[in-house]
Chain A
């Protein structure tokens, strides 16, 4: 089944404790992206990647890191999480660019206390 998977689905952590949210797709997509969703703000793009070893900042990259060492994986790293990073996070992928349909993961609910 073609899908985007994210782990964990739910995470509660404390300020400053490094964490990684994994994202994997099995569709051989070149484009991958991370978004955060907050009430009243919609989804905002954090980082995106056009291909392996190519990453670019989205609208809200501060406090986040990403890497794209393999085509299928695009982990999101919070090196020192803060409460303002409490949010719902989505990973997405598309065929070759963002102009095509994006397939979204199920979301990761992160709470930073």
Chain B
């Protein structure tokens, strides 16, 4: 079993729909990251969370440390949101800078 599990693997939505992507992890963490990967392969960091909730534009990320679960929400989705969304965790303890990644969720938003 992977340390970081994402669901769904694939998600197709119509423009304007509310999107939720889930991430569950099995290790103690110091931070959780949501990343966006475009078809060329480059990755953009969307959020870094250690507790609570963060919002940036139409994107909202939440984390529940006790339940080891995080969600990424996209409100009023748009075709330009189409990308792979990746959850990654940084394990807690010491000077561990390594990230463990989920396999990603491929989001396609149709006009």
Q: Do A and B bind each other?
A: no
Chain A interface (Cβ < 8 Å from any Cβ of B): none
Please report B residues at the A interface, Cβ cutoff 8 Å. none
